[in-house]
Structure 1
Amino acid sequence: MPIPETAAEPRPAGTTPSGRFAQFGLLTLALSWLPWAALGVAGVDVGTGAGQLVFGLAASGPSLAALIMWLRFRRERRRPTTITWYGIVAGLVLGAVAPVVAALVLAGGDPTVLGWHAVTVTASVGGPLAVLAYTMVAGPLAEEFGWRGWLQPRLRRRCSRTLTAVVLGTAWAVWHLPLFLLPGTGQHQTGLVSLGAAAFFVSMIPFSYVIIYATERLRGGVWAAVAAHAGFNAAGALFPAAGDLAAMIELGVMIILAAVAHALGQASNKSS
């Protein structure tokens, strides 16, 4: 008498790649969106006082979610990678290019105007170290260990660089959505229903491709992503170019950078 086949045991929840992606996404949204929603309902200005502290902790949602996932699946094997200093420097430079170019164009090509503003802003916040600390913590360190440290390498096991940039950039853009509704944020000043907001959301995709180039091709690792994000934030703070036109210029420059990174990658593939 033949022995009947037994059904395969179901995998525990969260052990498949798609399950882990879903867990990471839900954790990120819960850690960020719930506190932001509470601030919005309470009508708290996130630019000052306790609101600023709660906002900053919630902004760390992606990196905190990655930490939880690493702790839960700490037995997951990861191949050691070599991180290069030039990849990190390239990330910093690439991230700063778009806002600086936008500011320079809108300033009529006069770097003196931008220079004086940068000096004034630096002095007002307590010097270069204060600028560095703010631009590193508010965004780069709070987010990148989640987006580029945890999510990007796992997407890359299944997707091309281009598709990874599209998926990750879209998730990154959606995560920013509540900031357009919170008073005290730069996104709130831009306005959700505006050309600047549309440019901001779309720019997350080419920016993600540029970061992939710095982290993978130039082997900068997650620290190249931190540097690129910090460079973008610092350049925007020191050389501001507000308005829809500036946002469109930044988007255009970011698309050009992504196209150049793609071309260099293709040329490298052919030569190897």
Structure 2
Amino acid sequence: MRLKSSKNTILIYLLFTLIFSSVIWVLTLNAPDAGRIAGRMFGYGIMWCPTLATLVTLKLTGRKMSGLAWKLGEPKYLWNSYFIPLFYSLVAYLIIWSMGWGHFYSTSFVTKTAHEFGWDNLPHWFFIVIFFLMNGVIGMFASISTALGEEIGWRGLLVPELAKKMGYTGVSLTSGLIWGIWHYPLLIFGNYNNGTPAWYGLICFTVSITAASFIYTWYRMKSGSLWTGVLLHASHNLFIQGFFTPVTEQNIHSPWYIDEFGAVVPIVTIFLAIYFWSRRKELNDVAK
């Protein structure tokens, strides 16, 4: 039996996302001391659960994977999707550094990382530049490989289905909250936070990801391509988790302000969300 309605599609997708994700949640929470290899495996696993749910949903609703928004769209939207997270990350961390909630840069991180590359003799400032460029280019491929797993589901399937039932604001809020809540098991029961109280990290993370959803949804609708979501997501993870947070010298105040679980990134992202919300009239229907 094929279930065609958008309501059924959304419910099926969310159900199977929950089922598949629950397996990885249990495995992850059962391995609190997971090291680099196990952590990477679980990380890849959880981020590809939305794609597995999408495959099942499309099968049950009689649709094909090729029917998702695979076209690249206009290059400017792809470039913007890469640079926007870099922009708001830079603004957020400039605020953090200038306010003394963290400092640029972490000598221990730079020394350790330079040693891993075998570049111990490079001046620290020069290594930071090289590391930033390498991370922003080579690291992007690894980041895309995980972001794609989520975005096939969130922006490839869920957003267009929601757009059949509600406008841009509703789609952004709904998909953003679903996306955020999906992270809650690891936020609450795992160690996926900054070390602040769980309630604080949840608030900051939820605000950050819901605000970001206004950006992701705008570009998905405007470009008709799920690749904008992939690049936005990959760039966000890459620059916040892979560069700005580790390069920051932390102090006792830092956990409350840095990363996705501190206050600054959500506040900066809210301003961008308001900006894209103000441009909502530019949007056409989501491309099928």
TM over 0.5: yes
Distance in 1 (alpha carbons) for counterparts of 2:33 and 2:138 = 22
* Aligned residue number for residue 270 of structure 2: 255
For 1:57, the equivalent position in structure 2 comes to 45
Distance of aligned partners of 1:213 and 1:51 in 2 relative to their CA distance in 1, 3 Å threshold: closer
Matched, 1:171 2:178: yes
1:158-207 superposed Cα distances (whole Å, 9 cap, x missing partner): 11110111110111011101222565x5x244456242331111222221
Q: Report SS of the residue matched to 1:221.
A: coil
Task: Map residues 103-118 of structure 1 onto 2, 5 A cutoff.
Answer: 103-108=93-98, 113=104
Instruction: Give the fraction of aligned pairs with identical amino acids, expressed as a percent.
Output: 20
SS of 1:26's equivalent in the other structure is helix
8 Å CA contact retained: 2:17, 2:49: yes
Deviations 1:20-42 (A, max 9, x none): 2111111111111222213313x
- Rate the CA distance shift 1:68–1:101 in 2: closer, same or farther, 3 A: same
1:130-169 equivalences under 5 Å are: 130-138=138-146, 140-169=147-176
Alpha-carbon distance, 1:223 to partner: 0.4
Q: Distance between the aligned counterparts of 1:28 and 1:122, measured in 2?
A: 39
One-letter amino acid of the structure 2 residue matched with residue 17 of structure 1: S
Change (3 A) 1:119 1:113: farther
State the partner residue of 1:23. 12
- Residues 60 and 142 in structure 1, CA contact (< 8 A), matched pair in contact too: yes
**Aligned ranges 1:1-272 → 2 under 5 Å:** 14-41=3-30, 43-75=31-63, 83-108=73-98, 113=104, 119-120=127-128, 130-138=138-146, 140-181=147-188, 187-191=192-196, 193-217=198-222, 219=223, 221-236=225-240, 237-240=242-245, 243-246=255-258, 247-266=262-281, 268=282
CA distance in 2, matches of 1:45, 1:122: 32
- What letter matches 2:96 in structure 1? L
User: TM-score, normalising length from structure 2?
Assistant: 0.74
Q: Please give the TM-score of this superposition, normalised by the length of structure 1.
A: 0.78
Runs of 5+ in structure 2 lacking a partner? 111-123, 249-253, 284-288
TM-aligned CA distance change 1:82 to 1:58, over 3 Å: closer
Shift of 1:79: 9.1
1-side partners of 2:234 and 2:153: how far apart? 15
For 2:163 and 2:86, the matched residues in 1 are separated by: 25
* d(CA) in 2 for partners of 1:67, 1:192: 37
- Structure 1 position 130, deviation (Å): 4.5
Q: Distance in 1 between matches of 2:17 and 2:212?
A: 20
Aligned CA RMSD, in angstroms, stands at 3.3
Deviation at 1:74, TM superposition (A): 4.0
Assess if the C-alpha contact under 8 Å between 2:68 and 2:156 holds in 1: no
Secondary structure of 1:159's partner?
coil
SS in 1 for 2:92: helix
Q: Cα gap change, 1:227/1:16 in structure 2, threshold over 3 Å: closer, same or farther?
A: same
Aligned residue number for residue 8 of structure 1? none
Distance 1:19 1:100 in 2: 41
CA distance in 1, matches of 2:125, 2:200: 26
Larger Rg: 1
Cα distance change on mapping 1:87 and 1:129 into 2, 3 Å: closer
SS at match of 2:233: helix
Change (3 A) 1:13 1:47: farther
Match in the other structure for 2:119: none
